[in-house]
Amino acid sequence: MTTHRRIFAGHPQELSAVRGWVRQLLNDHPRADEAELIVSELSTNALQHTESGHQAGRFEVALTVAARAVAITVTDSGTRGSIPSVQHSGADSTHGRGLEIVSALADRFVISGDHRGRAVTAELSLPRQRPAAWDGSAMAQPGYRCEHHVWSTAGATGPHLVNTLSTASADAAIRWLRRSITTLLLAFDVGDQARLGQWVETDHAKAFDDLRRGLPCTVATLQGDRQWSAGPVLFLPLLPPTGKPVIAYQPTCSRTRRRNEVE
């Protein structure tokens, strides 16, 4: 078991350094995506709600890597205000979802300390290793399919698929949607810029929760001429045994949508 520790200055600009540090240490670890998101949420909470975010403030991040688990601990500089707790925000809420997201991702979640400094620890267990050999019962691998569609302004043709992404990570799927929307944000009118910009900055947290629960998410312009979507799928290996078809099964895809795609 190895523990890495680092102290960061209490500035919002340090959040990218925190994520990069964790990503570099975990590299290709199977829980790297969740760990990166968790440390980002915990660090943001420390900056927004404790003395760590004040002038000359700081916070400490500890990353412990064991054989079957990873633990992320963020220790703040304390506060005499409210004690950190999980708040179950409404579907339309854009704030207060940090610890809710962390508790949903972590296998174990602990808050310790007092007003002089609190430590929030989230543990991620290592998933069971899948068999390396072909196994018909385990051939389908869960993942996510992301798509960007454009509809003709004349309405004469159906949706045109602009680009796609297939990934095993819900976090990677949300990052792709955010990048794809951000790239075109300035080309939209003021209404869409404000609404889609808010989704990119904050509202994507609910979409991430939905994907983790096996639900699809969709974002569209007010005119409905552009749509971004992501949903869970099951991928099969590219080279199955003879007679085994290669398919991607979308368990939450509606029959209406699939019929429209065929037409």
Question: Minimal CA–CA distance to 143: which of 27, 33, 228, 25?
Answer: 33
Write down the pLDDT at residue 234. Answer: 76
Q: Characterize 28-66 residue by residue with b for buried, 16 or more Cβ atoms within 10 angstroms of its Cβ, and e for exposed.
A: ebebbbbbbbbbbbbbbbbbebbbbbeeebbbbbebbbe
* pLDDT (tens digit per residue) in 65-75: 988 899 999 99
* pLDDT (tens digit per residue) in 199-247: 999 888 888 988 888 889 999 988 778 899 988 887 765 554 444 444 4
Are residues 22 and 43 in contact, defined by beta-carbon separation less than 8 angstroms?
no
Question: Minimal CA–CA distance to 229: which of 194, 199, 188, 201?
Answer: 199
* pLDDT (tens digit per residue) in 151-203: 776 555 667 888 888 888 889 999 999 999 998 888 888 889 999 999 999 88
Write down the pLDDT at residue 245. Answer: 46
Are residues 21 and 96 in contact, defined by beta-carbon separation less than 8 angstroms?
no
Q: Does domain 2-125 have CATH number 3.40.50.2000?
A: no
Write down the pLDDT at residue 244. Answer: 46
* pLDDT (tens digit per residue) in 36-95: 999 999 999 899 888 988 888 999 999 999 888 999 999 998 886 655 554 544 434 334
**Cα–Cα distance measured from residue 163 to residue 180, given in angstroms and rounded to the nearest whole number:** 9
Domain ranges of the chain: 2-125, 136-262
- For the full predicted model, state whether its pTM sits above 0.85: no
